[in-house]
Structure 1
Amino acid sequence: MKPSLQFFLAGFLLLILQTGLCYGIKWIGLSKTPLALTLNQTQHCKQLEGLVVSQVQLCRSNLELMQTIIQAAREVIKTCRKTFSDMRWNCSSIELAPNYLLDLERGTRESAFVYALSAAAISHTIARACTTGDLPGCSCGPIPGETPGPGYRWGGCADNLNYGLIMGSKFSDAPMKMKKSGSQANKLMHLHNSEVGRQVLKASLEMKCKCHGVSGSCSIKTCWKGLQELQDIALDLKNKYLSATKVVHRPMGTRKYLVPKDIDIRPVKETELIYLQSSPDFCMKNEKVGSHGTQDRQCNKTSNGSDSCDLMCCGRGYNPYMDKVVERCHCKYHWCCYVTCKKCERTVERYVCK
């Protein structure tokens, strides 16, 4: 075999091994499902975008669940964009689902976040749908076994986290359990990060209460276990993204494991996000490495955080422009019981990166 051909094949093999092929998050492409599409027959499952064979089978056997999963896909996109709106990488490529760019195709910390968020979001949305009665296969979560305390009583309708975790993980993890879903290292990484997302979801379950009593005295509180909003869960995952650990797939005994690259004397923690490939700084547009660049991105001149013009623009400088903003103003309360406002226009100075 000629050296040049050997080099090409080696490079091609390395590219395959370094990419996770994103099977696990292609289902986010369900966000593009037309609102008019009625899912009441099993053959409709083939019309859904981004599903692998095992997910199509799950769709056929759980048709009533699919509208909730479609809603979860939309929540992933909306939440990811909002969570990273102040960062150089602003999750914009997630809107290309199910066909991603290299920032999400490779085993980066960005893909780690999206896998974790998508796993949390699908279980969160299913658990909430049980509570609202949108799913015939489930109902409210169980009443906790512990006593809530004096003046408190269990009631209401708890989010059915257990059902959400079972059905959510069955659907979102299905692609990583296929034989042809990328390298073993990527499978392990994606499954690990998905589980981290579900752990953060579990930790968000908290006691929520409603007051009862004469004249609002709140002498008795009816309480239930409810999940935090998905945006709050995403912020916790963002902190894990910022402190994510780079790993390598290394033999330990008779098997290979993912271990921290720089401190491989310890195993990977169950609570940390992990990644295999380093990310670019996302300053300049470079599709070969999955960078979208920050040119023309809005920045905050007075901020010291990641949205500051210095950090967002990578030292290239920024251009000011004037923007007209329409706001509610001169609001008046009318007895009883409504508010009327006028609309006022003002001009504000904004800044975009060069």
Structure 2
Amino acid sequence: MSATLLISSRRPLDQDLINNISSLNLSVTDLGKLCGRVGVDGRGWRMCTRSPEVAGVMLEAAWVSVVHCQRVMKYERWNCSLGHSRIMMVKKVYRETALLQGLSAAALTHVVARACASGRLTRCSCDESTVTRTENMRVWRWGGCGDNLAYGTRFARRLFVGWTKKKKKTKNGKSSRRSRDFKSQIDAHNAYAGIKVVQEATNSACKCHGVSGSCAMKTCWPQLPSFTHSSRAVKTLYDNAVLADAINEVTGKRKRKRPRSRREVVRSFTGHDFPFEIGEARPLLTPALQLTNRGRRRHRDDAKPRKMRKPKRTKSAFGDPRKFVYLDDSPNFCRRTKYGPGTQGRECQLGRNCESLCCGRGYDTINRLVEEQCRCKVVLRYRVQCHTCSKMTEVYTCK
């Protein structure tokens, strides 16, 4: 079963605690209460309370997900607010819910992989996906320690995607897996999409060895870039999220209104052992009204509908794991509702997003004194020394 953790959790988040994680002494802290205050429950809570080092990694992942969520959504109508509105939102299947789920899974994957390489998690070490432990020691001695992305992926998938259910025999003798409700399937898909983002961000760091700087021998190890790279990719998935349309195979009724035909649609059937995966970017027409040849010819009314072909099982029930999937249209977030605080008083960028962010209400101009670094120069070889300067700048806030 999939899980909702960190910023995708249905539990309240203690933002003051998250902002001061670096000052905590985990060896003398009640880990159970601490993990619960950062949105860790269920299987994640049991893992978090096992040892201070696991708790420290999950707390850091909570901090990373919060900071980067608020950064990438700073100039969106919904700015990743962490209050009660977030709890109401994760009960839905909005695009924003997909962002929370994917970013949480990506942050946990990234932090665990880095913690393995740095030695903060003793249950894992450097990346061992392509080399043995003995070779790892040699690589570390001559080069560096690779981020253990394989372990980070397993750790995050165990919590967000869930274990693969064991096959069980059905009445007709065929084996199947236990099905989930539709929202859990979407949550698991979006979490896996976030994990894929971190996997694809990995690159190789290499170091040359040889006389006089020659590269007679070179050692390489996998290395993750800053999580800023992954958070931007997750934001791109959010911008290009795909609408899912659930149809009950027994009753034939949709769980939502028919989407507009210009949307890209991913359809999945509930009430079966596993969802079917059907085409995308086409109107939802009945088999008797399927258009061919650009709409100039129709099937006969008595034509038999073409049978749906079951695709091969993939790691995602919704097709491409590099796309976020959502089910419900998001509110506009312009006014304060149970799903968001609204945009009144929010800062906007003149000429870029004030019209959209302020929902056409206009904006106020405020003169504000800000401090910034200036007159920087290099001293003592590699040290940079700067002065602090003050200047008056205009800030635009939504009415």
The equivalent residue for 1:79 is 68
Q: Distance in 2 between matches of 1:239 and 1:55?
A: 27
Return the match for 1:106 from 76, 92, 96: 92
Matched, 1:309 2:378: no
Deviations 1:102-140 (A, max 9, x none): 333311110101101111111110100011111111111
Matched, 1:197 2:194: yes
- TM-score normalised over the length of structure 2: 0.68
Matched, 1:349 2:394: yes
The equivalent residue for 2:322 is 271
Counterparts of residues 68-217 of structure 1 (less than 5 Å): 68-92=57-81, 95-96=82-83, 100-142=86-128, 144=130, 155-173=143-161, 184-210=181-207
Q: Distance in 2 between matches of 1:340 and 1:296?
A: 36
Deviations 1:221-262 (A, max 9, x none): 542211122221111111111111111332348446376897
Please state how far the C-alpha of 1:314 moved relative to its aligned partner.
1.7
SS in 1 for 2:86: coil
Q: Distance in 1 between matches of 2:213 and 2:145?
A: 22
The equivalent residue for 1:149 is none
Return the match for 2:32 from 45, 56, 77: 45
Deviations 1:119-172 (A, max 9, x none): 111111010001111111111102747xxxxxxxx8421100111111222234
Counterparts of residues 222-233 of structure 1 (less than 5 Å): 222-233=219-230
Matched letter for residue 292 of structure 1: P
Matched letter for residue 283 of structure 1: C
Please state how far the C-alpha of 1:273 moved relative to its aligned partner.
0.6
Q: Which has the higher helix share?
A: 1
Matched letter for residue 243 of structure 1: N
Return the match for 1:284 from 332, 335, 338: 335
C-alpha distance 61-38 of structure 1, shift in aligned 2 (>3 A): closer
Equivalent pairs counted in the alignment come to 313
Q: Distance in 2 between matches of 1:105 and 1:131?
A: 36
SS in 2 for 1:316: coil
Matched letter for residue 46 of structure 2: Q
The equivalent residue for 2:367 is 322
C-alpha distance 89-135 of structure 1, shift in aligned 2 (>3 A): same
C-alpha distance 337-102 of structure 1, shift in aligned 2 (>3 A): closer
Runs of 5+ unmatched residues, structure 2: 132-141, 166-179, 250-268, 285-307, 312-317
Q: Distance in 2 between matches of 1:337 and 1:61?
A: 43
The equivalent residue for 1:241 is 238
Q: Which sits farther off after the overlay, 108-117 or 49-58?
A: 49-58
C-alpha distance 155-36 of structure 1, shift in aligned 2 (>3 A): closer
SS in 2 for 1:78: helix
SS in 1 for 2:89: helix
Q: Which has the larger radius of gyration?
A: 2
Runs of 5+ unmatched residues, structure 1: 1-19, 146-153, 178-182
Q: Distance in 2 between matches of 1:158 and 1:298?
A: 41
SS in 2 for 1:285: coil
- Residues 161 and 192, structure 2, Cα contact 8 Å, conserved in 1: no
Q: Distance in 2 between matches of 1:112 and 1:248?
A: 15
- TM-score normalised over the length of structure 1: 0.75
- Residues 143 and 207, structure 2, Cα contact 8 Å, conserved in 1: no
Please state how far the C-alpha of 1:174 moved relative to its aligned partner.
5.4
Matched letter for residue 159 of structure 2: F
- Residues 40 and 63, structure 1, Cα contact 8 Å, conserved in 2: no
